[in-house]
Amino acid sequence: MNIKWSLLVIFFVIVTVLTGCDPLMVLDPKGPQAQTQANVIWISIAIMSVITIVVCAFLVFVLVKYRDSKLPKDYEPPYIEGNHLVESIIVGVPILIVIFFSVVTIISNNKVEATPEKYKGQDPLVIYASTSDWKWHFSYPENGIETVNYLYIPTKRPLEFKLYSFGPITAFWVPQLGGQKYAMADMVTTLHLAADEEGEMMGRNANFSGKGFAQNMFHVEAMSQAEFDDWVKEVKDTAEPITEAKFNELLKPGYTGQLTFTGTHLGFSPAPEHHHGSKDSNEDVNDEYMEHDHESSNESAHNYE
Amino acid sequence: MGYFAKFAVPHPSPAIYASMIAIGVTVFLVIFGLTYFKKWIYLWSEWITTVDHKKIGTMYLISALLMLFRGGVDALMMRTQTAVPDNKLLDSQHYNEVFSAHGVIMIIFMAMPYIMAFMNIVVPLQIGARDVAFPRLNAISFWLFFMGAMLFNISFVIGGSPDAGWSSYFPLADNEFSPSVGTNYYMIAIQIAGIGTLMTGINFITTILRMRAPGMTLMRMPMFTWSAFVTSIIIIFAFPVLTIALLMGTMDRLFETKFFATTDGGMDMLWANLFWVWGHPEVYILILPAFGIFSEIIPTFSRRNIYGYKSMVISMVVISLYSFFVWTHHFFTMGQTAYVNSIFSITTMVIAIPTGIKIFNWLFTMWKGRIRFTVPMLYSIAFIPLFTIGGVTGVMLAMSAADYQYHNTMFLVAHFHNVIIPGVAFAVLAGSTYYWPKIFGFMLNERIGKWAFWFQTIGFSLAFFPMYITGLDGQARRMYTYSEATGYGPLNFVSFIGAAFMAISFVLIVYTIYYSIRHAPRHVGGDPWDARSLEWATHNPVPEYNFAIIPQVDSREPFWDAKYKGHELFKGDYKKIHMPNNSGVPFIMSAIFFVFGFALVFSMWILAVISLIGIFVCMAHRSFEIDHGHYISVEEIKETEVKMGGNHK
């Protein structure tokens, strides 16, 4: 009797997990990458529920049928050896499932690690996202602006985030756009995202980084390219330029609200690209960054007017 | 006063002051009690200096239980803090210290010694041996673990706890971002305990390979012994990595080296790699013996031999191999290529296959059996569906594209508690109840035990299943608070209620022990459960020499066959038995290790050098010591056997 109750509780909980009340952030994607991930999650939930239900059903059957109190007094369990047919089923079925999941994984990995297919051919908007204790700095080299703790993005255009950190390892995560990736002090990681529809979203640092971790969030707003361009223009007209002194002030541990600047910190405090820890690589970084990203992005910026 | 400032706790709170007083009072009471009841000599000669594997196992068991409560209180504090949005009970610093301590204590100072306890108590008995291969090394292993645990625990009241998480990722754990001595404690306390564990691994491999009773071939070994054997092999491959990683981390913190710095050629990713090359096999070090325990309990209470013995053994060996090929899944999000992530996704998922085989083998063992719902069996039954859920969510996490969304979220927290609690915690609770009569000679009360079981299982489900949902809703792990607008409040409150249920369960477990000490009948005989393997062929509690006559093994379940098929286990006459002598050196050396560790934490170099010399003196003492052990005479054996109420002859 008790077993049944516990299983009922478990089933109830699983059902709750599967349905949820409101759409859960991760399962309510607003971009192609998050969509891919949500699909993978749903496929795995479906197949895994079947496995769980089979195991539970068999367990309940065995417990009900072979419990001591229900069996005749003289019942003596037989000695068992393995059975080849049974064993090949319990090995074979999981192997098939793992093969299926492997294929799904390889396909989805390549999808989420590349520019979203829908928007291929477009030049991505490159945004440098870096953290300091406990803030987010977003640099838009293409537009020559920088924000702190909020992120405005155009919809229907691939976004290429360049992630790094001025302190502990952090993780850039906007659940509705796609999964997270680490930002580290000694290298730059790249995350390809895109937003399909306009709207406000939550973004945060997902990797524990000390005292201010819980507040290490940022506000994300996806808007049409036209609105985005208006915003950039407005920033350029109204915001203060970022200076090295001001930026170094921001790097110190502490909290701030949302800030907006013209210019980016990449000029005087470049991202650790091709760094690999060598001592004199700082200058190389500067050069390479100027060549690859900044200027090429600047050229392409006009294509979307 | 300046000198003493460094021992002050950097972030004191009323809870810490209360703990300081509690620790002071406890120490005073223990000293007073030992003096008043004149138990100092008993404690020294029977326990502290012992080399008897059963007593060492018992000490592991008691330490693990104490640490379970310490880690459990941490867990309760965390769930209380997050029960409602914007809670002000703990500040962020305190919360960070609490979850870091919770992780380290539960994995290294609770689960590990609990597993060691069962290995120590059960393995020599299951293989019909008189002790482990190196009894004195075994004592050193225990005392090093114990001193490591104590060193870690005093961080809480002297100098400050570690606050960089149980995985202590650099550069967060480096001096710049974690300036208090907390992380020094982490590095050094785990190091000391880890050295002990490594020696246990060596000890048990030797014991199992060299000391099996005549007739017990490898393929006749009981499942728990097999699991202990495989685990020991994982230990000797995995723990040296931890030793080196911790050593490098210690150097970074104490001597400003730059192994894991982000400048001057250091690599923060290197720490994550080394930590998880140890850390993921570590998970299997915990879970395989747990599987072993379930594989003893399920056949016993199903009155059937284990289904698919060979596939059980093979799957365990395969799991142990694979455990070394999966560590990268802990940082799929660190910027590897899709190619690398795919490979580690697949190696991780493959582990589900041998694990699935084991689940089905347990189910088939129960099938056509005669199932008795005792407390150990209840835990084993609940383990199956709960662990299956934990396992399948593990496969979900292994798919790296999706892992980008689960990583560092409450979904992950739910998953690993979903494997470790029903897997390891249920196993050790079941094992404690099952082996209790073997250790102490009386049974634990079943009625209270069942209440504890129900609170535990329901509490577990309430505490951790909601986390899958909040994780998918974007709640990151290790957040000390969240705003009401996030909507995480209600589900976190459910988790809190679950945690409270689990706390009640632990109180009930203590009450069972208390109640049974007072009321349970003694002299339950050697085989109260009608069990199947050799450890039940001797008395309860087990005499010093384990078996008066070394058993002869002719089958896979020698004791069962002796009971019901007329095999003869004990042939021949009593002979005098050679046993090792007790020694105080393991304890003394480990105590000096404690001082050495403490000196390193606070960079007190003179004390460190003196204690290091002390450690070498203890080693040198052993090299020159002449100790041939002692013999137990035939008369003494006869006397003990008669007193124990049984006579094999």
pLDDT in tens, B384-398: 999 999 999 999 999
Q: Is residue A247 part of a domain?
A: yes
Nearest chain B CA: its distance from A302 CA (Å): 30
Cβ–Cβ below 8 Å for A180 and B408: yes
Cβ–Cβ below 8 Å for B389 and A10: yes
Q: Does the pLDDT at position A285 exceed 80?
A: no
Does residue A135 share a domain with residue A88? Answer: no
Neighbours of B552 (CB within 10 A): 18
Does residue A224 share a domain with residue A102? Answer: no
Interface mutation vs chain B, best among A99, A105, A217, most B CBs within 10 Å: A105
Does residue A240 share a domain with residue A183? Answer: yes
Q: Does the pLDDT at position B511 exceed 80?
A: yes
Q: Does the pLDDT at position B475 exceed 50?
A: yes
Nearest CB neighbour to B389, from listed A26, A52, A182: A52
Cβ contact A289:A270 at 8 Å:
yes
Does residue A249 share a domain with residue A125? Answer: yes
pLDDT at A299: 38
The answer to whether residue B336 neighbours chain A at the CB level (below 8 Å) is: no
pLDDT band at A67 (very low <50, low <70, confident <90, very high): very high
Which residues share a beta bridge with A241?
Answer: A262
- Chain A residue with CA closest to B456: the answer is A6
Judged by DSSP in three states, A154 sits in strand
Q: Is residue A9 part of a domain?
A: no
Which residues share a beta bridge with A154?
Answer: A223
Asked whether this complex has an ipTM greater than 0.95, the answer is no
- Chain B residue with CA closest to A282: the answer is B263
Judged by DSSP in three states, B584 sits in coil
Percentage of residues in chain A having pLDDT higher than 70: 82
Q: Does the pLDDT at position B2 exceed 80?
A: no
Residues of chain B numbered 470-509 and touching chain A (CB < 8 Å): 471-474, 476-482, 486-487
Q: Which two tokens mark A28?
A: 């309510």
Helix axes B352-366, A32-65, angle to 10 degrees: 20
Cβ contact B472:A28 at 8 Å:
no
Cβ–Cβ below 8 Å for A98 and B346: yes
Q: Which two tokens mark B600?
A: 């390193």
Interface mutation vs chain B, best among A55, A172, A202, A220, most B CBs within 10 Å: A55
List b or e across B20-29, with b for residues whose CB sees 16 or more CB atoms inside 10 angstroms: eeeeeeeeee
Neighbours of A104 (CB within 10 A): 19
Cβ–Cβ below 8 Å for A214 and B92: yes
The answer to whether residue B35 neighbours chain A at the CB level (below 8 Å) is: no
C-alpha B461/C-alpha B496 separation (Å) is 11
Displacement of CA A59 from its chain's centroid (Å):
37
Cβ–Cβ below 8 Å for B408 and A48: no
Nearest chain A CA: its distance from B464 CA (Å): 10
Nearest to A171 by CA among A132, A207, A210: A207
Nearest CB neighbour to B454, from listed A2, A22, A76: A2
Q: Which two tokens mark B646?
A: 């049984």
Interface mutation vs chain A, best among B405, B426, B494, B529, most A CBs within 10 Å: B405
- Per-residue model confidence as pLDDT tens digits over B263-310: 888 899 999 999 999 999 999 999 999 999 999 999 999 999 999 999
Q: Does the pLDDT at position A17 exceed 60?
A: no
Cβ contacts of B97 within 8 Å, gap of 6 or more = B11, B156, B160, B161, B162, B163, B182
pLDDT at A195: 96
Neighbours of B564 (CB within 10 A): 12
Interface mutation vs chain A, best among B404, B456, B462, most A CBs within 10 Å: B404
Residues of chain B numbered 559-618 and touching chain A (CB < 8 Å): none
The answer to whether residue B10 neighbours chain A at the CB level (below 8 Å) is: no
* Total-model pTM: 0.92
| Residues of chain B by 3-state class (helix, strand, coil), percent to 5 | 70, 0, 30
Q: Is residue A14 part of a domain?
A: no
Burial class (CB in 10 A: 0-12, 13-18, 19+), A198: middle
Nearest CB neighbour to A277, from listed B265, B373, B479: B265
Amino acid sitting at position B330: H
Does residue A186 share a domain with residue A107? Answer: no
- Chain A residue with CA closest to B93: the answer is A211
pLDDT at A16: 59
Percentage of residues in chain B having pLDDT higher than 90: 86
CA dihedral B170, B173, B174, B180 (to 10 degrees): 180
Cβ–Cβ below 8 Å for A277 and B263: yes
Peptide bond into B10 cis (omega under 30): no
pLDDT at A279: 43
The answer to whether residue B186 neighbours chain A at the CB level (below 8 Å) is: no
The mean pLDDT of A58-74, rounded to a whole number, is: 93
pLDDT band at A297 (very low <50, low <70, confident <90, very high): very low
C-alpha A56/C-alpha B360 separation (Å) is 11
Neighbours of B118 (CB within 10 A): 28
Q: Is residue A32 part of a domain?
A: yes
What range defines the domain where residue A235 resides?
121-262
The answer to whether residue B373 neighbours chain A at the CB level (below 8 Å) is: yes
Residue with the larger pLDDT of the pair A294 and B166: B166
Nearest chain B CA: its distance from A189 CA (Å): 6
Burial class (CB in 10 A: 0-12, 13-18, 19+), A222: buried
C-alpha B165/C-alpha B96 separation (Å) is 7
pLDDT at A289: 43
Residues of chain B numbered 112-131 and touching chain A (CB < 8 Å): none
Contacts of B408 in chain A (CB under 8 A): 171, 173, 180, 206-208
Nearest CB neighbour to B172, from listed A14, A169, A187: A169
Cβ contact B533:B561 at 8 Å:
no
pLDDT at B263: 82
pLDDT band at A277 (very low <50, low <70, confident <90, very high): very low
Q: Which two tokens mark B121?
A: 């108590």
C-alpha B414/C-alpha B62 separation (Å) is 28
The answer to whether residue B522 neighbours chain A at the CB level (below 8 Å) is: no
Nearest CB neighbour to A41, from listed B172, B345, B402: B402
Contacts of B477 in chain A (CB under 8 A): 208
Nearest CB neighbour to A168, from listed B177, B395, B473: B177
Does residue A137 share a domain with residue A60? Answer: no
Cβ contact A163:A126 at 8 Å:
no
Does residue A220 share a domain with residue A147? Answer: yes
Nearest chain B CA: its distance from A140 CA (Å): 21
- Chain B residue with CA closest to A73: the answer is B370
Q: Is residue A276 part of a domain?
A: no
Does residue A150 share a domain with residue A226? Answer: yes
Nearest CB neighbour to B333, from listed A26, A59, A181: A181
The mean pLDDT of B484-500, rounded to a whole number, is: 94
Nearest chain B CA: its distance from A175 CA (Å): 6
C-alpha B434/C-alpha B298 separation (Å) is 11
Nearest chain A CA: its distance from B166 CA (Å): 11
Q: Is residue A140 part of a domain?
A: yes
Contacts of A212 in chain B (CB under 8 A): 92
pLDDT at A305: 31
Cβ–Cβ below 8 Å for B409 and A206: yes
pLDDT band at B418 (very low <50, low <70, confident <90, very high): very high
Contacts of B381 in chain A (CB under 8 A): 3, 59, 63
pLDDT band at A19 (very low <50, low <70, confident <90, very high): low
Interface mutation vs chain B, best among A5, A8, A25, most B CBs within 10 Å: A25
Nearest chain B CA: its distance from A220 CA (Å): 14
C-alpha B581/C-alpha B58 separation (Å) is 18
Cβ–Cβ below 8 Å for A208 and B408: yes
Does residue A215 share a domain with residue A106? Answer: no
C-alpha A1/C-alpha B597 separation (Å) is 53
C-alpha B232/C-alpha B198 separation (Å) is 8
- Per-residue model confidence as pLDDT tens digits over A169-222: 999 999 999 989 999 998 999 999 999 999 999 999 999 999 999 999 999 999
- Per-residue model confidence as pLDDT tens digits over A129-169: 999 999 999 999 999 999 999 999 999 999 999 999 999 99
Q: What are phi and psi of A138, to 5 degrees?
A: -115, 120
- Report how many Cβ contacts below 8 Å link chain A to chain B: 296
pLDDT at A15: 57
The mean pLDDT of B575-580, rounded to a whole number, is: 93
The answer to whether residue B247 neighbours chain A at the CB level (below 8 Å) is: no
The answer to whether residue B337 neighbours chain A at the CB level (below 8 Å) is: yes
The rounded mean pLDDT for chain B is 93
- Per-residue model confidence as pLDDT tens digits over A26-37: 999 999 999 999
Place of tokens 């502290």: B48
pLDDT band at A11 (very low <50, low <70, confident <90, very high): low
- Per-residue model confidence as pLDDT tens digits over B24-76: 898 899 899 989 988 899 999 999 999 999 999 999 999 999 999 999 999 99
- Chain B residue with CA closest to A203: the answer is B474
Does residue A194 share a domain with residue A239? Answer: yes
| Order of all β-strands in the sheet with A170-174 | A150-154, A217-223, A199-205, A170-174, A178-183
Does residue A149 share a domain with residue A95? Answer: no
Nearest CB neighbour to B392, from listed A40, A52, A210: A52
- Per-residue model confidence as pLDDT tens digits over B587-622: 999 999 999 999 999 999 999 999 999 999 999 999
Q: Is residue A269 part of a domain?
A: no
Cβ–Cβ below 8 Å for B399 and A175: no
CATH number at residue A156: 2.60.40.420
- Per-residue model confidence as pLDDT tens digits over B209-231: 999 999 999 999 999 999 999 99
Neighbours of B435 (CB within 10 A): 25
Q: Is residue A236 part of a domain?
A: yes
Nearest to A67 by CA among B243, B559, B225, B372: B372
Nearest CB neighbour to B367, from listed A6, A56, A62: A62
The answer to whether residue B172 neighbours chain A at the CB level (below 8 Å) is: yes
Does residue A252 share a domain with residue A129? Answer: yes
How many structural domains does chain A have? Answer: 2
Cβ–Cβ below 8 Å for B457 and A59: no
